[in-house]
Amino acid sequence: MTTIDLTKIPAPDVVEALDFEEIYQEVLTGFKALYPDWTAALESDPVVKLLELSAYRETLLRARINDTARACMLAYATGSDLENIAALLGVIRLTDGEEPELDDRLRLRAQMALEGVTVAGSHGSYVFHALSASNLVKDVAVDSPTPGQVRVTVLSTEGDGEPDTELIDTVDAYLSAETRRPLTDEVTVEAAEIVPFAITATLQIYPGPASAPILAAAQAAVQAYVFEHAKLGMDVTLSGFYAALHQPGGVKKVVLASPLADVEIGPRQASHCTGIALTAEVVTDG
């Protein structure tokens, strides 16, 4: 089963777009209907201020209603609101590891909870249970090299992503429970193969802007790209590097020294960036 991308779902109609000026005009129109002879010649008129205060409080109230509506939806709920929705699906936030499970990860497992109900050993079922085995599991790949054999590849949240023996054993024990896998499946849990790479680039910037903020923004952008793509079977591409490094304003050109080609990643592999070295060069021509 393909997990629905919740970020692609349109915002629900119950969440109202708020505009203070529009709400103020509604309040003003209502007040004038009650007192047709009233006119406000000055912005400082106490009545005007009271109407503005009323509109402001109305805006806050509607914003609170919006937040309450979002808190009841899996796509938007966060924190304890999300935990309560996940609990309805039999999923709780994992707390092993240095930090509690992140909202996005908990939301994904809640989405996949129905996969965990099946005893047929579906792809989604193995992914759900492997993610539920430990908060240290970042990503999971499942394949079947031969009939009756299920190979589960695990990527860790720690270090370069290669899971240690303890994590492999934890996932293996969790998946081996008779209530979580068909008796005819032979399950093998293996570590992901890590593909290292480093980024070295020179940013040619226009005269005027200080280079330090540009470099910092470019560093943050490329780090975000690298983190998002450090998953099983996900390539990291030159076009992605260029797009990230061009995000800061003031960058004329990016000269990428490494990598020189796309970092192609297999289904049971994941990339790991070992370092990012960026320098700035001011150019005055064209």
Contact call for residues 47 and 40 (beta carbons, < 8 A): yes
pLDDT digits (tens, 9 = 90+) for 120-158: 678 888 999 999 999 999 999 999 999 889 999 999 999
191, 214, 243 - which closes a domain: 191
Residue 143 lies in a domain: yes
Domain of residue 268 covers 194-282
- Same domain as 244, residue 158: no
Residue 92 lies in a domain: yes
Residue 180 lies in a domain: yes
pLDDT at 66: 95
Residue 141 lies in a domain: yes
Mean pLDDT along residues 256-267: 96
Residue 1 lies in a domain: no
191, 206, 225 - which closes a domain: 191
- Same domain as 183, residue 87: yes
Alpha-carbon gap, residue 94 to 129, rounded angstroms? 12
71, 92, 109 - which closes a domain: 71
Contact call for residues 214 and 251 (beta carbons, < 8 A): yes
Question: Could you tell me the pTM of the whole model?
Answer: 0.76
Q: DSSP string covering 10-71, please? A: PPPTTSPPP-HHHHHHHHHHHHHHH-TT-----TT-HHHHHHHHHHHHHHHHHHHHHHHHHH
The tally of domains found in the chain comes to 3
